Structures are given as C-alpha cells and as structure tokens.
Chains A and B, each alone.
Chain A
Amino acid sequence: MKTTAKLFSVLFFLILIFSFTPDDDGDRLVGVWAPSNGKARIKVEKIGNKYYGKIVWLREPIDPVTQIPKVDKNNPDASMQNVPLKGYRLLKDFIYSGKNEWTEGTIYDPENGSTYSCLITMKDNNTLDIRGYIGLKALGRTDVWKRLEIKK
C-alpha cells in the first residue's frame, strides 16, 4: 500500500512536470536578427503567447528627402504615415507550431506599405528563412536572416 502510494505520487508529479515544462523551443526565435540586405536589425520578443519583431536599428535612419528620422510614409492608412520606423513592429502575431516553424504571422514592408502572410523557419539556431507570400506560399519570396550578438 505504501509502495503503491509512492508510485502513484511519482506518476502524478511526473505528469505535472511534463505538462508544465517551459516552451523553450518557440523562444529560440527571441533575439536580434539581420535581414540579408543589411539595412535594418530586428529584435524578436514574446508578448503573451505570440512573437513580434521590431526594428531596433536602421542603417540609414534619416530620410534623405525630409532630413528627419524615417517614418511609415507608405502606410495605406494616411493617419498612420507619421509613425516612426525605429521601433516599428514588422513581424506580428507569430505562434510556434513545432518543427522549427513559426506561423500565423505577417510581415510588413515599409517600402511599399504592404503586409504579407509570413512563415518563419529556423534552419539552424543562427539562421532563419523568412518567407513572405500572397495567398499561396508559392507566390512569395524567401529572405535569409542571421542572428546577431551584441559585442561586449
């Protein structure tokens, strides 16, 4: 009886442990990443249960025409065209769906004000395939992002 009770307790707590195991896999996306064109650096963070990526650095932060920090001048909503690009969340609403993929999210291109469906695939811990597409995944383009580390 004592042995049975012990075994039962072990089993119960094991179930508890595994059901509360932290979701580390999805959190591997968190960090700073550089798109292939080198024009920006994107910081991915987790808010709630979803992942978001915002611009934290721009190679050319000042608009050469207006001489002020770049803003979202191509936003289709005219009332939002003065939102600064630094701090802008390009990647939104991604959830980790297993197998090194983050789905259900979108990517915004401030160059033309378009929002694309997006699939993020982690090729290795330091490399992402960011595929923006329209409707079908075939109608899109993949960009390779590399993880960055802050120099000490």
Chain B
Amino acid sequence: MKRFTLLLFLFVGNQLFSQTDSTKKVEEEEDYSIYENVTSTDGQNKTFCNPKIFDLSPSRFISIAWDQQMPYDMELSQLFSYPKDSTNIVPYEKANANSTSGLRLFANIPVISSNKFLWQLGLNYWNMKYVFSEKITPTLDTSLIQQLQKNGLTTMGLHSTVYKPLNDKQFILMQVSADLSGNYTFSNIQPLKFTRYSASILWGKRPNDRKQWAIGLSRTYRVGELNFLPIILYNWTAPNRKWGTEILFPARVHVRKNFNARSLVMAGYELEGQSYRIGGIPLSVDKELEIRRGELRLRLEYQRQIWGFIWGTIQVGYRHNYSFNADYTQIGGSDFFRGFVGKQEYAMINKLGGAPYFNVGIHLVSP
C-alpha cells in the first residue's frame, strides 16, 4: 500500500509541476531581431487591400441628421402646357418657400465584413417639408405647390454595397439601390411599382496606404432623372497626413483637412437628386407626374468625435437648383431615359432659387 501510494504521488506530482509559466519562458527567449526572419506555418500569407486609406473621413453605421434650407422663390409652369423653351416660361404658380427642411436617417450595416470580402446592407429615409410664406395661387386641386406643402417629398430606400479585394492592390466595388420617392406619407405609401433603381460598378487600385482610385459606370438618378454616367473614385492623403481628397466624380468632390485623428473639415460639392412621383393631382388615366429634383450643394463640413464612436457633423453651404422639372411617366410605373441627349419634352419646367442651407448630424462611425 505504501509503495502504491508513493507511486501515485510521483505520478500526480509530475502532473502538478508540469504547468508552464509562459510569461517567464517568453522573457528568457525574447529576441526581437529574430522576428525579421519568419515564415508562415501553412505556406500562405496572402494579403488583400483594405477598403480604406489613411485618414479618410469615418464611414458611418448609423446617421441622424437635420437638413434646413433658407428661404427661396419657386416658380412652376402650368400642367399639361408642355413648354418648349425654358427661357420664356410664364410662371403659373409662384410662391416663396420660407422653409424647406427635414430629417435624414441612414443605416449601413455590415453583413459580411472580413479582409477578403465586405458586404453591407443599408436603408435610408429622407424627408423634405415645405412651408410657403405667402398665400399660394392658384388654389386649385392641380396646384403642385399645394401638394408639396401638404406632405412634402419623401425618399425611402434600400442599398447593398459589395467590396471585393482581388489581391493586395486591386479591388472591385459594386452598389445597387432601390428608392421609393414621392409625396407620400407612412400611412399612405405609394405603390412599389414606382421604385427607382440605381447601380454602379467600379474597378480600382490601391497602390499604397495613402491612395486609392477606381473607374466605373453607373446607372443613377443623382441629378433627378435616369442617367448612365462614368464615375471616377480618387481618395488620397498627403504624406504629412494633414490633407487629402475624397472624390467620387461626378457625384461628389471634396478636399479634406485633417486636424487630428478625431476632427477634420471637408470642402467641396455634392450632387443630390431623386425622381419623385406626385400623387393627389388629377391627371389623365394613363399618366403619372414625376418631379426630377436635382441639386448642386456647395459645402463646408466640420466632422468631430463627440465621444467614443459617436461623431457629430455641421455642414453649411449653398444649394443651387439643377432641376425641378416634371415629366409624365407611364401609369405602370416604368421610367424612360432622356439623359443629356434625349428630345422628350418636360411636362413642367420649374425654377427654384438658390438658397443657403445647413445640416447637423450625429453618427455612429467606424473609423
């Protein structure tokens, strides 16, 4: 029994003292120069290019912003008039838009996010409420201004973005989106057949941590009506890490000044636009009315970390109206392509004065 117990002790004792303190072992074997000469254990060490470069403005997971335009004049031509010449329009409706403002919500959530593949799904909600300062004339059911004052203009959309690095230098970027835009409300959403689709695809290169560029094509409603445009991406950061550019031409072009890792300012422009189906105006049975809203926003934007991953932005600028014309589209919901060369006439030719604006927002970001 004694011998047996002794054997057991020896066996257990061996187990007890076989715990190793990896800390002590690490300190004895430290030799940092040897980390110059290493090899991967499974022979593969493939690298893929990062979707970002140094010092870009942080990408946003969730955004809440308020957009406010200062007063401007609005002149609309008569429905069914088919004006041929935009320079000699006699305005049928006139009003002063005392306030054009609304909430902008945006979410962009990664579904798959790894060094080899990035897929994000998102949704957006933009609303613009119009408040007109004067009595609107005429006060007819066919008044577009009355319809705008009643419900404003709303866009709700879904989008999907895929970033696929091909190797450590090249990548492909794709995006598709579906937007439902019009003068509807939550309680009276317009039929989904009026959804407008956009898409873009780019191929690009990321030669180093401070530069990435890409070229591609897009199907877009960015200036209000359907267009097919080439696009150029050019993100760059200066060697001193204080300046840079963030360009997705022609949609937006910005120069960036980085104060530090937690604040920056951007100056440039962005084109905004959507095609809004207008309900509530009696038209003939085979026609729908769509406003092709396109704007050029010149702007200065200050971005700053508030706390942790919460950032705030203040944007001030000038909104120049590119288009507020309207088309008749098919009752079935399908759109047509005019582009820059088409000869189709507008159902309405409308003018909006320019206006200063500001936008304040709060965002959950991923730096």
Question: A residues within 8 Å of B by Cβ?
Answer: 2, 5-6, 9-10, 13, 16-17, 20-22, 27, 30, 32, 34, 36-38, 41, 43, 45-48, 56-57, 64-65, 74, 76, 86, 109, 111-114, 125-127, 129, 134, 138-144, 146-151
Contact = CB atoms under 8 A, between A and B. Distances in A.
Given A30-B22, A36-B48, 13 more contacts: A13-B12, A37-B115, A48-B23, A64-B239, A65-B240, A113-B261, A126-B42, A139-B366, A140-B366, A146-B41, A150-B34, A150-B35, A151-B38
Contacts, number: 137
Interface of B: 1, 4-5, 8-9, 11-12, 15-16, 18-20, 22-23, 26, 32, 34-42, 44-48, 50, 54, 61, 109-110, 113-116, 118, 168, 239-241, 260-262, 308-309, 364, 366-367
A141 B113 contact: yes
Nearest to A152: B37
Contacts of A57: 32, 35-36
B110 A41 contact: no
A6 to B, nearest CB: 7
A27 B15 contact: no
Nearest to B34: A150
Nearest to B44: A146
A134 B15 contact: no
A147 to B, nearest CB: 5
A15 B47 CA distance: 48
Contacts of A20: 12, 15-16, 19
Among B11, B12, B41, B47, residue most surrounded by chain A Cβ atoms (within 10 Å): B41
B260 A111 contact: no
A151 B37 CA distance: 6
A2 B23 CA distance: 45
A63 to B, nearest CB: 10
Given A111-B54, A139-B366, A144-B116, A32 B35 contact: yes
Contacts of A151: 37-39
